């Protein structure tokens, strides 16, 4: 075989693969933007996922920001608050801490944003908090990242206007044991910070009520083949805890159907969210009856601010049939930021002190209940227990079982665990 012109084969392959991997996080959302740290313009840099299994995150973020900005006469690209021009730039990530770090640095160091808004996913959130500690002149408002530890890291410029993932499971463990009579539960969850806390929140309640864990499978994010994991579920298990999200959850549910899993499911906060239910896969027989907890109210929620928000949301481009957990958290957080900017009259002088005071003491009635702040700049919020049911139109929907008001943060940070946490 003559291969004389082929000396470049290996380097070309190496460079190509490297660029593919690097580009998956950076190929979208590069809107650019000029440095505007002074004058009348406030620049907000938004981080959201545009690749990977939460690739719809950017659309959801824009839908949420669209609702909030249109209410004050602006657009997803900006508007005017208290006479100050607000410009919004976007940076896409793939949901990993690596790209989150790259993109948050791009926003702060290249685009010169005054405020960072985001990110979506748990590991990203922890990377962004660590970065926030190094740039005290920039204010960070979290998007939907929910590891417990984020607001316990001591970053005084970091604010979270929604519950953490352990708070979202509050009360569900006891409900599963007492009302659903599940005695033994098998846990399947993705292997990163958000499911640790989410599952930790559930199983600490479930085990305290007397429940047992019949096994844990921590799978890598992006796992699409669950046949083997499903076969690990031991006999005598009453229910399966599904701590998966987005495409991973949809894969699991559809494969649970084809593998003939007939056990009831307990969902992590994003397992049977509207993003999974909106997919085309045949998941109904697996999803119906699933109980879950989280910041998203189901059908039958009567807060007067809820329906107007849903109506405004569905008019946004690329919106789901109903708001997902991501658009709700992004909306509540972005609206909090707008309120903070209004209360501080857009004053970013003195190291953004006025804005931070306003954000740290903010109280308002959101579409999902009253939001107030604790001393760690972590919100005190309402939380919901819900169940997936088949609606009269044959579509899957979530129905409220109960809700809790004024849920505060615990201080336990969970890690990967075996058995009970």
Give me the least distance between CB of 204 and other proteins, in Å please. 22
Look at residues 139, 85, 70, 4 and name the one whose alpha carbon lies nearest to residue 316: 70
Q: Is 318 in the site for other proteins (CB under 8 A)?
A: yes
Q: Is 259 in the site for other proteins (CB under 8 A)?
A: yes
Among 99, 114, 146, 251, binds other proteins (CB under 8 A): 251
Q: Is 58 in the site for other proteins (CB under 8 A)?
A: yes
Question: 17 vs 179, which CB is nearer to other proteins?
Answer: 17
What's the sign of the alpha-carbon dihedral 120, 132, 45, 357?
Answer: positive
Q: Is 314 in the site for other proteins (CB under 8 A)?
A: no
Q: Is 319 in the site for other proteins (CB under 8 A)?
A: no
Q: Is 247 in the site for other proteins (CB under 8 A)?
A: yes
- With contacts defined by CB under 8 A, name the span among 9-17, 81-89, 138-146, 370-378 that binds other proteins: 9-17
Among 32, 220, 304, 394, binds other proteins (CB under 8 A): 220
The site string for other proteins over 401-420 (x = CB under 8 A, - otherwise) reads: ---------------x----
Give me the least distance between CB of 230 and other proteins, in Å please. 9
Q: Is 280 in the site for other proteins (CB under 8 A)?
A: yes
Among 145, 185, 219, 339, binds other proteins (CB under 8 A): 219
Q: Report the alpha-carbon distance of residue 273 to residue 271 in Å, rounded.
A: 6
Site for other proteins in 104-163 (CB under 8 A): none
Question: 51 vs 139, which CB is nearer to other proteins?
Answer: 51
Q: Is 71 in the site for other proteins (CB under 8 A)?
A: no
Give me the least distance between CB of 55 and other proteins, in Å please. 3
Question: 39 vs 260, which CB is nearer to other proteins?
Answer: 260
Q: How many CB atoms lie within 10 A of CB 3?
A: 7
What's the sign of the alpha-carbon dihedral 155, 417, 143, 167?
Answer: negative
Among 15, 179, 208, 299, binds other proteins (CB under 8 A): 15
Q: Is 30 in the site for other proteins (CB under 8 A)?
A: no
Q: Is 231 in the site for other proteins (CB under 8 A)?
A: yes
Q: Is 19 in the site for other proteins (CB under 8 A)?
A: yes
Q: Which residues pair with 186 in a beta bridge?
A: 215, 240
Number of residues that bind other proteins (CB under 8 A): 65
**What φ, ψ does residue 261 adopt, rounded to 5°?**
-80, 120
Among 44, 250, 341, 362, binds other proteins (CB under 8 A): 250
Interacting residues of 33 by C-beta distance below 8 A, sequence separation 6+:
43, 45, 87, 89, 111, 112, 113
Among 153, 257, 413, 420, binds other proteins (CB under 8 A): 257
What's the sign of the alpha-carbon dihedral 68, 69, 72, 75?
Answer: negative
Q: Is 246 in the site for other proteins (CB under 8 A)?
A: yes
Q: Is 235 in the site for other proteins (CB under 8 A)?
A: no
Would you tell me which residues interact with other proteins (CB under 8 A)? 1-3, 5-6, 8-9, 11-13, 15-17, 19-21, 23-24, 27-28, 49-59, 94, 191, 217-220, 222-225, 227-229, 231-232, 246-247, 250-251, 254-255, 257-260, 275, 278-282, 318, 320, 416
């Amino acid at each position: 075989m003559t291969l004389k012109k082929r000396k470049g084969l290996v380097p070309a392959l190496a460079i190509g693969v490297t660029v593919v991997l690097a580009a998956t996080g950076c190929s979208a959302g590069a809107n650019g933007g000029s440095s505007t740290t002074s004058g009348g313009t406030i620049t907000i840099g938004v981080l959201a996922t545009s690749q990977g299994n939460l690739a719809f995150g950017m659309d959801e973020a824009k839908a949420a920001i669209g609702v909030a900005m249109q209410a004050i006469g602006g657009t997803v690209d900006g508007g005017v608050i208290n006479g100050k021009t607000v410009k919004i730039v976007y940076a896409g990530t793939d949901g990993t801490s690596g790209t989150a770090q790259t993109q948050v640095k791009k926003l702060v160091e290249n685009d010169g944003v005054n405020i960072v808004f985001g990110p979506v996913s748990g590991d990203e959130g922890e990377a962004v908090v660590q970065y926030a500690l190094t740039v005290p002149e920039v204010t960070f408002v979290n998007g939907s990242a929910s590891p417990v530890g984020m607001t316990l890291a001591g970053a005084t410029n970091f604010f979270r206007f929604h519950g953490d993932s352990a708070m979202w499971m509050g009360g569900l463990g006891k409900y599963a044991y007492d009302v659903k009579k599940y005695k033994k539960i098998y846990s399947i969850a993705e292997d990163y910070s958000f499911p640790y806390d989410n599952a930790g929140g559930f199983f600490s309640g479930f085990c305290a009520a007397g429940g047992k864990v019949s096994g844990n499978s921590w799978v890598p994010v992006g796992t699409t083949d669950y046949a083997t994991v499903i076969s690990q579920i031991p006999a005598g298990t009453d229910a399966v805890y599904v701590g998966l999200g987005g495409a991973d959850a949809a894969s699991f549910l559809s494969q649970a159907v084809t593998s003939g899993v007939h056990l009831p499911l307990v969902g992590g906060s994003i397992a049977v969210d509207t993003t999974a239910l909106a997919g085309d896969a045949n998941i109904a027989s697996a999803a119906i009856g699933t109980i879950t907890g989280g910041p998203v109210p189901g059908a039958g929620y009567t807060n007067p601010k809820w329906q107007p928000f849903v109506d405004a949301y569905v008019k946004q481009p690329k919106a789901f049939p109903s708001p997902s957990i991501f658009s709700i958290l992004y909306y509540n957080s972005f609206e909090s930021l707008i309120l903070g900017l209004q209360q501080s009259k857009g004053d970013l002088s003195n190291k953004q002190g006025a804005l931070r005071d306003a954000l740290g003491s903010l109280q308002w009635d959101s579409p999902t209940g009253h939001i107030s702040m604790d001393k760690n700049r972590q919100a005190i919020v309402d939380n919901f227990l819900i169940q997936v049911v088949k609606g009269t139109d044959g579509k899957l929907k979530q129905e409220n079982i109960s809700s809790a008001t004024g849920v505060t943060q615990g201080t336990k940070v969970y890690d990967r665990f075996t058995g009970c946490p």
